[in-house]
Amino acid sequence: MSSLPPQNAIVTGASRGIGRVVALRLARDGFAVVVNYAGASAKAAEVVKEITSWGGRAIAVQADVADAAGVARLFDEAAEQAHGKIGVVVNSAGIMKLFPIASGRVEDFDAIFNVNVRGTFNVLQQAAKRVADGGRIVTMSTSVLGMNFPSYGPYAASKAAVEVLTRILAHELRGRRISVNAVAPGPTATDLFLEGKTPEQIDRLAKLAPMERLGAPEDIANMVSFLAGPEAGWINAQTLRANGGYT
């Protein structure tokens, strides 16, 4: 049986990359969107301006997902805009630092886990309390978990934790008809992915999938749109790997 969550959504990390495109897609789907950002206020304002330019509804709210108080304030402002009816939360905020385990700095390890794991915990904790019954919660993992690439250790470990938190929260929300799922993109053409890679490296990674191309942010947004919609109510506690057959 399908159900329709309240048409209000929070998207973290929505000022650029996959989060930006997810926010735009959900707005096109009819959601009023809270565009969260950590520091890129101008880029977040551009997302809001684009949504409102064609009649959509959006506001920008600053919060660092690693800061529990900031995340609580984000949900407070979202609830005020939505008259308490938050239907969808998409936690797209994340960072990727690549380094070998043997030579990595503990400061970089901590930075990854602060945003990717603590940030996910903070967002899921608030979502568990604030999302309306019948709503949707979506986190972001990565398909690199199945590849065991050198230098990806701490990043992949952080996303493995995201998948565990996602599945367990789905079970903790038993009886409320709230689905909690993760989307695991393969290599996707965002600034975060392309930064620091040579054209040769990018081409090699693009060819790993049978589709022989990088994913586009829109490919991931399409998956989130499906999970947020009425036909996905029976999908719960899953990780959906949107990667063109990458793993």
H or E element that contains 169: helix 153-172
**Which of 37, 152, 155, 246 is labelled catalytic?**
155
Angle between helix 17-28 and helix 41-53 axes, rounded to 10 deg? 20
Which tokens go with 99?
Answer: 């380094």
Any catalytic annotation for residue 155?
A: yes
Non-local (6+) Cβ contacts of 53 within 8 A are none
CB 6 within 8 A of CB 82: yes
Report the alpha-carbon distance of residue 160 to residue 13 in Å, rounded: 19
Q: Which residues are catalytic?
A: 155
